[in-house]
Structure 1
Amino acid sequence: MKNNKSTWFLLILFGLSIQAQENKPKNVLFIIVDDLRPVLPTYGANQVVAPNITAFADNAVQFNNAFVNIPTCGASRASILTGIRPTRKYFKRYTTSISKDMPDAITFPGLLKKNGYTTISNGKISHNRDDMTHTWSEIWRPKGKYNNQDYIDPKTSETLEKDGLPGVYPFERLDVADASYKDGKTANKAVKDLKKLKKSGEPFLLAVGFLKPHLPFNAPGKYWDYYDEEDIQLPINNIFPKNGPKSAGNWYEMVKYKGIPKNVDKEAKNAASFTLDENFAKQLIHGYYACVSYTDAQIGKLLRTLDELGLSDDTIVVFTSDHGFSLMEHNRWSKHNLFNVENRVPLMIRVPGLTQKARSNSFVELIDLYPTIAELVGLEAPERVEGNSLVQNLKDPSLISKSVGYARIWNGDMVVSPNYLYAEWRGEEGGNVYDNMLYDLKADSLEMNNIVDQPKYRKLVDSLSQQIKFKTVQ
């Protein structure tokens, strides 16, 4: 009889232990990469070497139609962290600060911290390091060896200090260790944090922001060696559409670097009138691919550490980017505009006990991440959050819960669906449209024939313009 009581007591303790484990809040590893378009093998870009992200996709739901709400760094990150759409009044520029634009917003790190989570920001999460500091238990960013742009060649660094970006090429290839550049340092810091967090036993949000493949395309030489430049192909749609709107042509940022002829009277290049040398273009694409492979290796370190520490079964992993980047598509080298390639991003979510390898074709806007994370950890998102939870899509990846996405930047607004991409530019809210473009994505997936002026599409253009106004979710 005594033995029976002991057995029952042990069984009860075991049952309570399992129940406690099931009720334990799940950790969150949030990985965001700067300027990463879906140029990954699982998205069909087989020329790119990214074995760690590819392996991660084996237990995650990959969203094939994920779009940012604004294709510029600071504003996009502010929108993601708050779950709120950018407008002409707030979340407008790459320098956006939530603390300035919307100081009373409850970000998803803030929500988790308020509910007992340790929240750590490593690398670039918000654009500004000290944005919404009260929502983080710790904020850490790496420092470059010589400069903030993360050039580590001494001669290049001297030139940079003397002449600025016009004196240096937008890439660097050196045979150095991963931790010589900032992203390697960020990965190492995140690994250390995971070990500390494991010991603490407390639920955590570890947000890790990698810089590459953002300009300049600097990566250790071994990642450049993955690719033969002679094999790199320029995109098929490497010219600006003849009838493309002028507002969609300007590109900036890369214009500042050596190797790009400088304009005397303006900062931008226009895709309708300027084309880079083909060899230089291939060198830039080579650099971008090398940076993707470099960042993939850093992500691999984090995922292996999760496994080694036994944290994978307790940790939700979200992997995405703040916007895409044109690599000579439409003769552009930039984000900051409303073509598909500058707004579509990779998105993969792995939830222990819920997800397995699957692909979802439902449309996603990155404002949807906030309510998704909140629901997955058992919290309620604030009413102000505009996104929709993706939990049902994770349970049933075949579900199409949304078939449109919206993005905007400066005077332009865009709506994209499986059939069409429409963008329009207005001088002021509610003002007249002074530029627009419409692409039939079924017949013209490369967006090379702007059909907006064809009479048979007038009703469709009016309808899509109204959709943009009211942000109708279908």
Structure 2
Amino acid sequence: MKLITQKIFIFLNLALFCSCGSKPTNTLETAAEKKPNILFIVVDDLRPELNFYGANHINSPSLDKLAGESLIFERAYCNIPVCGASRASLLTGARPTRKRFINAHIKKDEDYPEAISLPMLLKQNGYKTISNGKIYHYQNDDAEAWDEIWHPKSLWDYALAESQEIRKNTHRGLPFEAAKVHDSVYRDGKTALKVIQDLNKLKEANQPFFLTMGLSKPHLPFTAPQKYWDLYDRDKIELPESYIQPESTPRYAFHNFGELRQYENIPKKGDLPNALAKELIHGYYACVSYIDAQIGLVLDELKRLDLEDDTIVILWGDHGWNLGDHKLWSKHVTFETALRTPLIIKVPGKTKGLKTNAITEFIDVYPSLAELTSIEIPDTVDGKSFVPIINRKSVEKNWAVSKFKDAVTLIKGDLFYTEWVKDDGVAYARMLFDHKTDPLELDNLSEKPQYQDKVIELSKELRQKWGKDFLTK
């Protein structure tokens, strides 16, 4: 009964949205030539702590269902663990460098204006392109690539008057909120309604579409309807096994998680009290369940409109997130908890719950979607297509490179090798973890005598693979 009521509410609310953008242009494509649609779902701060990645404690039935119809990348890595840079890098297919795509506040238009972005490429090839929610960090970045840009209006994403008042009078407000409100009160609920409206509009157009759904949760603050908090028993939530900062790990690897410290009632320094840490983990889980429900509504509508068989669905989290791992919160490090991300793609007729252990980088998404839509890949793209994996073939590439500030990490096989380098490329610190024996990254091997030959080898390989323009652009 609740589901029926919610769907009725959704369709009633669709009328509240204006029909933005120009009327789609008809194409001359025949049915045989028609390009696939793309539903592009971006989730902010999503960890691969989901059932289809081996976890069993987060309630996410919609994501689980989508994964069962998709190719699941077990080893997908962002190229930089901060939202603005990660998104711009993925959407251009270009590697971050010492000066390009370096933090949350970059703009594609300023950092790499000459690159043809993925939405621009698709637009130039007959696609209707719609940006909904947070796709780039800044709403009007790469504006020419979109036929329409839409953002939800929300008062700092707090539903309760008292929370809004605290936010009004402080820098960030409370780090979490549970409110007995409808899903559409928060911005991601509004985004789901807009995407559903778009699907209904696009259904009538004889034009392929690149439709995006940028979800803001589970980014801080952890605000979600009460019913999603109620899915979890906080007494059963445990701190991570890696809740430690070993002496062997360089101090450069850690930070004071300033992103979280800006919120009210968070200590300005030191470890968090255990009760507060568990409340934050609880809030994160609630937000994942909340966005899962919004994704489910959109996927149900895609099916109801008979668009499912004509639409590629790709879902990714812009980077990982620390939930107490290494006694850290937020991203901004090169531990696997910040670099490894969820990435799944559903290609009608080709994927059905398959998994791959192939090491994949976010810059590989662009050329893969270009290949799936039979569009030539621009020269500015650094990534390599993973379409052979979709076709159940092997790929030669077995590595990834990620960076944050001075830290640059080579991921190869079970090894995670990081160097902190100066502008001239000279290293001033390093760490090496072997995930075969140390998956939690607690034993830095880089200074141990028996690993020095391996360090020299990995250091050379890192420089070969971080990109020819890494130090100069």
TM-score for both structures, normalised by structure 1: 0.90
Segment drifting more, 414-423 vs 279-288: 414-423
Checking the alignment, whether the CA contact within 8 Å between 1:86 and 1:408 is kept in structure 2 is yes
Q: Of 144, 167, 170, which residue of structure 2 is paired with 1:160?
A: 167
Q: In structure 2, what is the equivalent of residue 181 of structure 1?
A: 186
Give the deviation of 1:355 after TM superposition: 1.7
1:286 corresponds to which letter in structure 2?
H
Structure having the higher Rg = 1
1:161 corresponds to which letter in structure 2?
K
Point out 4+ residue stretches in structure 1 off by more than 4 angstroms: none
Map 1:351-362 to 2 at 5 A: 351-362=347-358
Q: Of 398, 406, 427, which residue of structure 2 is paired with 1:403?
A: 398
Checking the alignment, whether the CA contact within 8 Å between 1:361 and 1:400 is kept in structure 2 is no
* Structure 1 residue 229 corresponds to structure 2 residue 234: yes
**For residues 429 and 206 of structure 1, what CA distance do their matches in structure 2 show?**
42
Map 1:28-427 to 2 at 5 A: 28-144=38-154, 146=155, 149-165=156-172, 168-250=173-255, 251-262=257-268, 274-396=270-392, 399-427=394-422
Checking the alignment, whether the CA contact within 8 Å between 2:77 and 2:340 is kept in structure 1 is yes
What SS does structure 2 have at the residue aligned with 1:200?
Answer: coil
**For residues 381 and 21 of structure 1, what CA distance do their matches in structure 2 show?**
24
**Cα deviation 1:158-203 (Å, max 9, x = unaligned):** 12111222xx331111111110000000010000000000011211
Q: In structure 1, what is the equivalent of residue 432 of structure 2?
A: 438
**Cα deviation 1:400-432 (Å, max 9, x = unaligned):** 54321110011110011232111111232323x
2:431 corresponds to which letter in structure 1?
M
1:178 corresponds to which letter in structure 2?
D
**Cα deviation 1:62-113 (Å, max 9, x = unaligned):** 0100000000000000000000000111111101100111112100100000
**For residues 65 and 328 of structure 1, what CA distance do their matches in structure 2 show?**
21
**For residues 401 and 215 of structure 1, what CA distance do their matches in structure 2 show?**
38
**Cα deviation 1:257-284 (Å, max 9, x = unaligned):** 1222225xxxxxxxxxx32111111100
2:42 corresponds to which letter in structure 1?
I
Q: In structure 2, what is the equivalent of residue 271 of structure 1?
A: none
Q: Percentage identity across aligned positions?
A: 45
1:420 corresponds to which letter in structure 2?
L
1:429 corresponds to which letter in structure 2?
D
**For residues 306 and 374 of structure 1, what CA distance do their matches in structure 2 show?**
22
Gaps of 5+ in 2: 1-28, 468-473
What SS does structure 2 have at the residue aligned with 1:275?
Answer: coil
Give the deviation of 1:349 after TM superposition: 0.6
Checking the alignment, whether the CA contact within 8 Å between 2:167 and 2:174 is kept in structure 1 is no
**For residues 460 and 385 of structure 2, what CA distance do their matches in structure 1 show?**
25
* Structure 1 residue 447 corresponds to structure 2 residue 441: yes
What SS does structure 2 have at the residue aligned with 1:81?
Answer: helix
**For residues 401 and 211 of structure 1, what CA distance do their matches in structure 2 show?**
35
1:384 corresponds to which letter in structure 2?
T
Change (3 A) 1:424 1:472: closer
1:440 corresponds to which letter in structure 2?
D
Q: In structure 2, what is the equivalent of residue 24 of structure 1?
A: 34
Checking the alignment, whether the CA contact within 8 Å between 2:46 and 2:342 is kept in structure 1 is yes
Change (3 A) 1:314 1:154: same
**For residues 288 and 159 of structure 1, what CA distance do their matches in structure 2 show?**
21
**For residues 411 and 117 of structure 1, what CA distance do their matches in structure 2 show?**
38
2:380 corresponds to which letter in structure 1?
R
2:82 corresponds to which letter in structure 1?
T
2:169 corresponds to which letter in structure 1?
K
Give the deviation of 1:32 after TM superposition: 0.8
Checking the alignment, whether the CA contact within 8 Å between 1:363 and 1:400 is kept in structure 2 is no
Q: Of 437, 459, 464, which residue of structure 2 is paired with 1:465?
A: 459
Checking the alignment, whether the CA contact within 8 Å between 1:362 and 1:401 is kept in structure 2 is no
What SS does structure 2 have at the residue aligned with 1:425?
Answer: strand
**Cα deviation 1:21-68 (Å, max 9, x = unaligned):** 332111000101000010110001110000001011121110100000
Give the deviation of 1:207 after TM superposition: 1.2
CA RMSD of aligned residues (A): 1.4
**For residues 428 and 304 of structure 1, what CA distance do their matches in structure 2 show?**
50
The total of aligned residue pairs comes to 438
**For residues 435 and 252 of structure 1, what CA distance do their matches in structure 2 show?**
23
Checking the alignment, whether the CA contact within 8 Å between 1:97 and 1:128 is kept in structure 2 is yes
Q: In structure 2, what is the equivalent of residue 5 of structure 1?
A: none
What SS does structure 2 have at the residue aligned with 1:446?
Answer: coil
What SS does structure 2 have at the residue aligned with 1:294?
Answer: helix
**Cα deviation 1:98-130 (Å, max 9, x = unaligned):** 011111210010000001110000000000000
What SS does structure 2 have at the residue aligned with 1:22?
Answer: coil
**For residues 256 and 440 of structure 1, what CA distance do their matches in structure 2 show?**
34
**For residues 401 and 372 of structure 1, what CA distance do their matches in structure 2 show?**
15
**For residues 330 and 65 of structure 1, what CA distance do their matches in structure 2 show?**
20
**Cα deviation 1:304-343 (Å, max 9, x = unaligned):** 1110000011001101111000000100001011000101
**For residues 396 and 73 of structure 2, what CA distance do their matches in structure 1 show?**
12
Checking the alignment, whether the CA contact within 8 Å between 1:246 and 1:435 is kept in structure 2 is no
